[in-house]
């Protein structure tokens, strides 16, 4: 799948020290909203919060500079790296998940693991 269009919620302020909300439209007209940032922006966040670490937040796609070409290449990599645009979808969906959704997913995985362990024990 290829990118059809990218657009930005806000204008870029600093190509090397900023964070952008990026709207991505794919060839099949599916669209995603993701955050793209630069490494320097993390230092800005730590200074802002007077912290020695980046506070918890949504996942970012991290690029060296906020140019169209670099942003497009990074997003395309998130589309191509794993089947069915897994990484792009994960980064997009993370912002919309509620704790109930996460707990449900964890419960399902725990149940699958319990069933798998039972199958393995039955084979022994």
Which DSSP string do the residues of 96-110 spell out, in sequence order? Answer: T--HHHHHHHHHHHH
Predicted local distance difference test score (pLDDT) of residue 80: 92
Question: How much is the pTM?
Answer: 0.83
Q: How far apart are CA 32 and CA 37, in angstroms?
A: 16
pLDDT tens-digit series, residues 25-68: 999 999 999 999 999 999 999 999 999 999 888 899 999 999 99
| pLDDT tops 90 at residue 24 | yes
């Amino acid at each position: 799948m290829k990118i059809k269009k990218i657009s930005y919620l806000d204008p870029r302020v600093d190509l090397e020290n900023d964070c952008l909300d990026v709207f991505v439209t794919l060839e099949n007209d599916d669209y995603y909203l993701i955050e793209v940032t630069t490494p320097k922006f993390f230092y800005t966040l730590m200074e802002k919060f007077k912290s020695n670490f980046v506070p918890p937040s949504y996942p970012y796609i991290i690029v060296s500079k906020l140019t169209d070409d670099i942003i497009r290449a990074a997003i395309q990599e998130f589309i191509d790296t794993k089947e069915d645009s897994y990484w792009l979808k994960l980064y997009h969906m993370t912002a919309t998940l509620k704790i109930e959704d996460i707990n449900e997913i964890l419960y399902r995985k725990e149940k699958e693991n319990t069933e798998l362990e039972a199958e393995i024990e039955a084979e022994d």
